[in-house]
Amino acid sequence: MKLPNRLLVGAAVTFVILLAAGMLLRKSLGPPLRPLGWPMGSVWVGEDRHFVGHPRGVWQACWYNSQINRDRCKFADYKGEVLFEGDFLICSEQRGAPDIDLILKPSTSSFVYLRNGTMLVESGICEARNALPPR
C-alpha cells in the first residue's frame, strides 16, 4: 500500500521541525548538573550538555591547603568520577591562592583560572619550570 504524497511531505516537514527544535534544545541545556558531594564553587570546563550523548569536559574544584601553601584541585567527568587530583600553584609567586581568592572561572580551557584572571598550574610543572636556568 503506497502512502499518499501529502503524507510523505507532512512527515518530512515534521521531521525537519523536530530536528531544528532538538538542535535548539541542545544549545539551551547548558552544563551538566554539579555531581553530588562536589563543592558549591565547582565549575564545568568544556562544552555544554548534549541533547544526545554525554557532555565533553570536566568538573573542577579547588581548595587551599594552608599546611603546604598550595591549592588542591580535582577534576572529574560529568558524573563526578575523579579523573585527576593534584597540587596547584600561582607559578610566578610559588604559592597557592588563599580561599578568599580561590573563585574558579568557568572556561573552555584545560587550565585552572580564577575569577581575578590568575592561572593556577600543576605544582610539578611550576617547580620544573623554576628549576631551569634562565635563558
- So where are the chain's domains? 1-30, 32-131
Chain centroid to CA 86 = 16
Q: Give the pLDDT band (50/70/90) at residue 2.
A: low
User: pTM (2 decimals)?
Assistant: 0.70
Q: Give the pLDDT band (50/70/90) at residue 87.
A: very high
Mean pLDDT of 16-44: 73
User: Does residue 31 register a pLDDT over 90?
Assistant: no
Residues 6+ apart with CB under 8 A from 48: 27, 29, 30, 31, 55
- Count other C-beta atoms under 10 Å from residue 29's C-beta: 12
User: Does residue 116 register a pLDDT over 60?
Assistant: yes
